[in-house]
Structure 1
Amino acid sequence: MRSPITGTAAGVPFTALPPADGGAAPLLVTWHMLDAPRSDAAFAAALPMRDLPAWRVHLGMPMCGARMVDGSTDAIVALFREDPLMAYLHPFVRQATEEFPAALASIRAQLPVDGGPIGVLGGSLGGAVALRVLADTDVPVVAGAVVNAAIRMRSVVDLFPGDYPYDAESEKAVAGLDFLARADALRRAPLLVVSGELDHPGLRADALALAEVPGVELRSIPGLAHPLADEPGIEPAPQLPAAREVDAALTAWFRRHLTGTAG
């Protein structure tokens, strides 16, 4: 197995896993969770998709991995204590989406990926980034997938203690990240929704609802809660059994829709 390649793409840290021959191949781009695994390197270890004949380039989310402040997650904790939606969830998704086109151009310049449409994958909050790339950008995407994803940001806000004090600005922000209401914008590429049967009930309900949309397929994973790795989830760790099932489902999906190969 070839070693991971690490670097930065237009300032965004990445961990890239090459196809078996290390040569030119289609490109799958991912965004990790803010739960474990909470870095690009850890996400690559949790979902390596080794049997997928494509470059798997795992991008780091803002303030995570190599972009952690003072080497810890304390700065992120301070943001969600200040305002979970407007200081944390919304700006993280916005920044990751806005920095992606330049990062993609840099990836294409650095790695022998083909020039065709790409696949996108996101876990948890990274799932909202993948869905935004599908819904709100002109990046050519041939297939997408999300895992235990933030499909409807209001459901994520509900996970934080207390009643969130919505105002006009935060209502607009949360509406823009409601991909049940905006499901028509996702239809340009087939989408796989992977959902742990033990995920947070609100996120699980959103996954089941999105799976009712034409062009969306659901894969439920028995025994899987929200995280895909053990804490602390920053460094690469051995793949958990439930993550192995997710990995197999994603590999089969992207073999079919991204690389056109049988699994």
Structure 2
Amino acid sequence: MQKAGLLLGAGTQAWKSVRTASSRVTRRDPLANKVALVTASTEGIGFAIARRLAQDGAHVVISSRKQQNVDRAVAELQGEGLSVTGTTCHVGNAEDRKRLVATAVNLHGGIDILVSNAAVNPVFGNLLDITEDVWDKVLNINVKATAMITKEVVPEMEKRGGGAVVIVSSIAGFLPSSGMGPYNVAKTALLGLTKNLAIDLASKNIRVNCLAPGLIKTNFSRVLWKDKATEEKMKENLQIRRLGKPEDCAGIVSFLCSEDASYITGETVVVGGGTPSRL
């Protein structure tokens, strides 16, 4: 009886091993062999998105304004066995945008995915005190550059039969925060840019969607969680009583870039922990 039990246990264990191995072999990488560009992707939300796209099978080209940041991020992701390369790119510079696109094409033969994540917020203060040069900088980087780099990748996506664009906006586009006027306005503009691009690119089989993160714990948002008291106060506004992590955004972006989202375009997904974003 004891021997039979041992044999049964061994058989069960062997079956579990076979089943586990089989699940690994048959696991579908939703972005297998896709080529993705992710701007501002050496830390925070952009870095988490780049990592997830690569984990899901894509060849990812990351970018940042500083070479040392690119080198560090590429080394970390390649150390995880992921297909990631990188180059410097200031998205407000037309030549840099062209070079970023050319890098992906030269390395991988084309582009299937664009995630436009770059943004700046250089000032904090009353909207009527904002100078013209600040308005120019915020709108140039946060809005115009997104439109221009999308324009740059469209011909490459057409060669591949289509593609997916994800624009990173913010919950501030729905629920403005005091002191961040130009940033709020720019993020609201990205909601409209998403819908307009979705209309214009649908005939080219290019889908355009938007991610609107809430309070995600990154260096960019540090002023909103700089000490424990401030962080606890911010949590009071959330139905999910914690601040978001960059990884909370990454899976949504991968989904929007995959065939599972093939019938979704012109939409915005809010990842905000239950913030009342549409008051």
Do the two structures share a fold, i.e. TM-score over 0.5? Answer: no
Q: Which structure: larger Rg?
A: 2
* TM-score normalised per structure 2: 0.41
**Greater per-residue strand proportion:** 1
* TM-score normalised per structure 1: 0.43
**Greater per-residue helix proportion:** 2
Greater RCO (CA < 8 Å, at least 6 residues apart): 1
